[in-house]
Amino acid sequence: GIQVEQSPPDLILQEGANSTLRCNFSDSVNNLQWFHQNPWGQLINLFYIPSGTKQNGRLSATTVATERYSLLYISSSQTTDSGVYFCAVEWIQGAQKLVFGQGTRLTINP
Amino acid sequence: NAGVMQNPRHLVRRRGQEARLRCSPMKGHSHVYWYRQLPEEGLKFMVYLQKENIIDESGMPKERFSAEFPKEGPSILRIQQVVRGDSAAYFCASSHREGGYTFGSGTRLTVV
């Protein structure tokens, strides 16, 4: 099957800082999504980004499909950005389902 | 569009009881996926269903777990004779080709 690795596993920053989260995957994908799991456990869909670059406010994401990685950028971090960020992919050779990475736990201190 | 609806949000069961988790996909979607998240871990695929069909159950434990998606009504994930190790968050998702997968808010199952 496909492997999805996220780095770093943990990240602690002060409010206002910028951060970059990385997702590497081991094979070609149909679909890549970034999710934010907030402290209440809800999964929020941030980006559907199988390739290219997208921006939504302070967040942006880039997927370079040919090199099998994606990056999530968070600028001017706020305490509400805290939580776990998951990358998930749909393997092009696999069944129709998402495979999740282990996540990056982001803590933003005031 | 109400999104993916799951209920209950929280469920407490004693060891040996049955747990039933419900999921209604986004309006117009006929595919649902169930995922399990153990504490401090990522989400793991369990089962993919279409109306009245199980498409992929490669992630389902072999015993005590079953899922269905009837012609009418929500999808049901059923866990018989629950054990403490079944305590987890169970998420349901539906998919759309243009925008990927959308997840519900999850059901947090606690087995006491």
pLDDT in tens, B79-100: 999 999 999 999 999 987 666 8
Question: What's the pLDDT at B70?
Answer: 93
Question: What's the pLDDT at B98?
Answer: 63
Question: What's the pLDDT at B57?
Answer: 95
B105 touches chain A (CB under 8 A): yes
* Mean pLDDT value across residues B41-66: 94
Q: What ranges in A1-110 are assigned the alpha helix state H?
A: none
* Residue A108 CB neighbours (<10 A): 20
* Mean pLDDT value across residues A38-58: 94
CA-based nearest distance A31→chain B, Å: 7
Cross-chain residue pair B106–A95, CB shorter than 8 Å: no
Model confidence band, residue A60 (pLDDT cutoffs 50, 70, 90): very high
Mutate to test the interface with A, among B34, B43, B60, B97 (most CBs of A within 10 A): B43
Question: What's the pLDDT at A47?
Answer: 96
Question: What's the pLDDT at A101?
Answer: 96
B58 touches chain A (CB under 8 A): yes
More confident residue, A95 or B39: B39
Instruction: Please check the confidence at residue B51 and state whether its pLDDT lies above 60.
Output: yes
Instruction: Please check the confidence at residue B109 and state whether its pLDDT lies above 70.
Output: yes
Cross-chain residue pair A48–B100, CB shorter than 8 Å: yes
Question: What's the pLDDT at B99?
Answer: 63
* Choice among A38-42, A54-58, B33-37 with the minimum mean pLDDT: A38-42
B110 touches chain A (CB under 8 A): no
Is residue A2 packed enough to be buried (19+ CB in 10 Å), middle (13-18) or exposed (0-12)?
middle
Cross-chain residue pair B103–A43, CB shorter than 8 Å: yes
Mutate to test the interface with A, among B101, B105, B108, B109 (most CBs of A within 10 A): B101
Mutate to test the interface with B, among A2, A97, A105 (most CBs of B within 10 A): A97
The percent of residues above 90 in pLDDT, for chain B, comes to: 79
* Mean pLDDT value across residues B49-56: 93
Instruction: Please check the confidence at residue B31 and state whether its pLDDT lies above 80.
Output: yes
How many Cβ contacts (< 8 angstroms) between chains A and B? 54
Residues from chain B contacting residue A31 (CB–CB below 8 Å): 100-101
Cross-chain residue pair A43–B91, CB shorter than 8 Å: yes
Among A74, A66, A96, A20, which Cα is nearest to B100's?
Answer: A96
Counting every residue, how long is chain A?
110
For residue B39, give the 3-state DSSP assignment.
coil
Question: What's the pLDDT at B40?
Answer: 82
Structural contact between residues A35 and A44, judged by C-beta atoms closer than 8 angstroms: yes
